Amino acid sequence: MSPAYRDVDPSKSSPVVDNLRRSMRERVIGQTEAIEAILRMYKKNLAGLNIPGKPLGSFLFLGPTGVGKSELVKAFAEGIYGDSSKVLTINCTELSEDHFITKLIGSPPSYVGDAVEPILSQENLDRGHTDKVKISIMVFEEFEKADYKIKKLLLQILEEAVLVTNKNRKTNFERAFIFMTSNIGLREIDVSSQPGFKPAKITSDRERFEKTLLNVARREFSPELVGRVNEKVIFKPLSLAELRLILEVQINNLRRLILGQASTRQGFPQFSLLITEEAKEYILGLGWNPKEGARQLRHVVGDILLADISQLVITEQIQPNDTLLVNLDSSKLKYSIQAVGAFPEALFKNRRSVRS
Ligand SMILES: Nc1ncnc2c1ncn2[C@@H]1O[C@H](COP(=O)(O)OP(=O)(O)OP(=O)(O)O)[C@@H](O)[C@H]1O
Ligand SMILES: [Mg+2]
């Protein structure tokens, strides 16, 4: 006789969700709470159980600068569309003036002159749509800078998922994931110098700290707006171990860039890039700035290291199939081309795990 009930398990993994999680984690180190918050809303969309008349999901990302808030929105877009540039990004610093509301919804019907095409048109919102993917992703960056009218506008979007733009056109947000990012309550506070906000304090009094931050957000953005947001996530400051992993991500991005150029641009040499642990620690030292998260690290890899490598390419010191070795010598980065078949000794000296 068959039993009356069959146990089911909501923690059973789904390949689609697992793949999205993996791809976001590859690009964004740590911040797992925020990744899971996105996945919670995404699952509802996959099941078709999102609430009609509301956006697919809304998120308030709070936290210090340079810790992955904007990067995660891009990582989500990359996971969804395979292209992180498909996000409709609204930078609120450019919208702090009252009249900039016309930039978002267009000029009023009575307006004579050049009609401004609204940023929040349906076409713009749905720029990432393909035959298979019918999801829109939009982000309000530095939301604390937004004018109160824009905050009111967003409240309406979250409440009704519809907005009337100029010429009486409607933009529907029912297929949209909407993000707001902000440093509210943090940019003003020097995290490392304020007695109440020392990093150790942030960890030990995490809950109290998060409550305080959310209260600041309620005060600044209105309790109604914060109340309507589905997921409110406080991003964590990055640890040194996480910065090491971020450096690995950035070095891999560099390798991808080289490979991409070699496969599409004639005359660009395809070469391998090896960086010793000592050189990585040196780069970390240059890029480690607790007040800026990983922003400075990106500058060191993306600008300084890349400028040196570019110089080697344009002076034709790198040939196809070379291996470029970046080492440390007398407290400076030293570049050498490794002879074919040579054992890269420098790589194995004092080797240690990047996770340590
Ligand atoms: N957790 C992370 N994982 C991987 N890379 C990161 C992470 N945090 C920051 N970065 C790197 O640092 C850069 C800046 O981070 P990001 O733009 O996400 O900052 P943010 O948290 O949005 O800060 P802000 O509040 O100043 O806008 C990213 O482009 C990325 O290269
Ligand atoms: Mg940002």
Q: Express each pLDDT in 201-212 by its tens digit.
A: 545 567 888 888
Nearest ligand to the CA of 89 is: 2
Long-range contact pairs involving 294-298 (C-beta distance under 8 Å, separation at least 24): 294/66, 294/67, 294/68, 294/238, 294/243, 294/246, 295/65, 295/66, 296/66, 297/243, 297/246, 297/247, 297/250, 298/250
- d(C-alpha 236, C-alpha 240), whole Å: 12
Using the predicted structure, report yes or no on whether residue 115 has a pLDDT greater than 90. no
Which CATH architecture does the domain made up of 240-348 adopt? Orthogonal Bundle (1.10)
Q: Are the beta carbons of 59 and 225 closer than 8 angstroms?
A: no
Mean per-residue pLDDT, 74-84: 96
Taking residue 37's Cβ as centre, other Cβ atoms within 10 Å add up to 20
What is the whole-number distance in angstroms between the Cα of residue 115 and the centre of ligand 1? 36
Which pair of tokens denotes residue 132? Answer: 């298979």
Going 313 to 316 to 321 to 323, the CA torsion angle's sign is negative
Hey, whose CA ends up nearest to atom 4 of ligand 1?
A: 28
Nearest to residue 177, comparing CAs of 290, 56, 298?
Answer: 56
Which pair of tokens denotes residue 68? Answer: 């992955």
- Identify the CATH assignment for 15-234 out of 3.40.50.300, 1.10.287.110, 2.40.30.10, 3.40.50.720: 3.40.50.300
Percent of the residues in the chain that have a pLDDT greater than 70, as a whole number: 86
Tell me the CA distances in angstroms from 283 to 120, 249, 296, 332, one per residue in order.
Answer: 41, 14, 10, 10
What is the whole-number distance in angstroms between the Cα of residue 296 and the centre of ligand 1? 10
Mean per-residue pLDDT, 331-353: 70
Hey, whose CA ends up nearest to atom 28 of ligand 1?
A: 71
Which residue would you say has higher pLDDT here, 171 or 201? 171
pLDDT of residue 196: 42
Spatial neighbors of 202 by CB under 8 A, at least 6 apart, are: 191, 209, 237
Hey, whose CA ends up nearest to atom 29 of ligand 1?
A: 71
Hey, whose CA ends up nearest to atom 6 of ligand 1?
A: 68
Atom of ligand 1 nearest to the CA of 31: 1
Hey, whose CA ends up nearest to atom 25 of ligand 1?
A: 65
Q: Which residues surround ligand 1 with Cβ inside 6 Å?
A: 28-31, 65-71, 181, 183, 246, 249, 293-295, 298
Which residue would you say has higher pLDDT here, 77 or 208? 77
What is the whole-number distance in angstroms between the Cα of residue 73 and the centre of ligand 1? 10
Domain ranges of the chain: 15-234, 240-348
Nearest ligand to the CA of 293 is: 1
> Nearest-5° angle of CA 155, CA 218, CA 61?
75
Confidence of residue 195 (pLDDT cuts 50, 70, 90): very low
SS3 97: coil
What is the whole-number distance in angstroms between the Cα of residue 2 and the centre of ligand 1? 54
* Stated pTM of the model: 0.89
- d(C-alpha 55, C-alpha 343), whole Å: 56
